[in-house]
Amino acid sequence: MPHDASAPLVLPQRHWGDADSPRRALLVHGLTSNGATWWRVGEALAADGWHVTAVDLRGNGGAPVAERYDFAAYAGDLPGDDWDVVVGHSLGGAVAVVAASRPGFTRRLVLLDPALAVEGDDVAGLLVGELAELRLDQDGFRQLRPLWHPHDIELKAAAVAQATAHMVERTVGDNSPWNVLAETSALEVPTLLVGGDHAVYSMVPTDSARSLVASNPNLSYVVVPGSGHSPHRDRPDETLSLLRGWLADS
């Protein structure tokens, strides 16, 4: 039988930590990455007693390709419910926001420089930039991301090699207009919005972040100084300290 395009896909998963732990975390990567790229966050949370799951989103990593790449389809694939925390980066942040509208999906949410809204000329720039990344190898990423750990370089290059231009083009096209600000403003769980440093690069405009925080008491916003779009790879120690502190307090 042909696959039903509206049916969820079964996503590859990676795990860290004790499967019997009562604390469960789900990690959702960005465009042209995969679950393995969360290695440092997975290991850190596992060391704190969490059982951590990271998925490969549809069309990324080892996941099946799909006919649809809209946020709802991405979110519909995410496994399970009743997560203690879901952490999403970039595209994964937008997907996590949409998934969090499901009652009982997660108790807390962390969004690492999430791609909540991309407008106007920025949409074309996003597409050009993501397609250009598909041509990079380890040397290219080493030059582009000098702050990253060598293992981050290796894993990102491997993930990019698994991605296709079709998936990137459809993800951008199927989510035009790219905007989940209303869904973010309506979140009903404690949510930490972590922005990159605008002196480096961030997909979270300061005004948008402030408006979201003003509109919803569940939201808080912090910036990781010196970080760009990938706080967990640009400034991992600072980002992990922030994440651990917030999880301990919330």
With helix as H, strand as E and coil as C, how does 31-68 read? CCCCHHHHHHHHHHHHHCCCEEEEECCCCCCCCCCCCC
Separation of alpha carbons 21 and 213, rounded Å: 32
| Secondary structure class of 222 (helix, strand, coil) | strand
Q: What is the pLDDT of residue 52?
A: 98
Q: Is residue 219 part of a domain?
A: yes
Q: Is residue 221 part of a domain?
A: yes
CATH number, domain at 113? 3.40.50.1820
Separation of alpha carbons 187 and 191, rounded Å: 8
Low-confidence ranges of the chain (pLDDT < 50): 1-2
pTM equals 0.97
Q: Is residue 91 part of a domain?
A: yes
For the residues of 99-142, what is the DSSP string, one character each? HTTSTTSBS-EEEES---EE-THHHHHHHHHHHHHTT--HHHHH
Interval 198-249: pLDDT, tens? 999 999 999 999 999 999 999 999 999 999 999 999 999 999 999 999 999 8
Closest CA to 136 of 124, 154, 122: 154
Number of domains in the chain: 1
Q: Is residue 4 part of a domain?
A: no
Q: Is residue 105 part of a domain?
A: yes
184 close to 212: Cβ distance less than 8 angstroms? yes
CA 78 to mean position of chain CA atoms: 12
Q: What domain range is 115 assigned to?
A: 13-249
Q: Is residue 193 part of a domain?
A: yes
Q: What is the pLDDT of residue 4?
A: 64
* Paired tokens of 224: 């990781």
Q: Is residue 7 part of a domain?
A: no
Q: Is residue 77 part of a domain?
A: yes
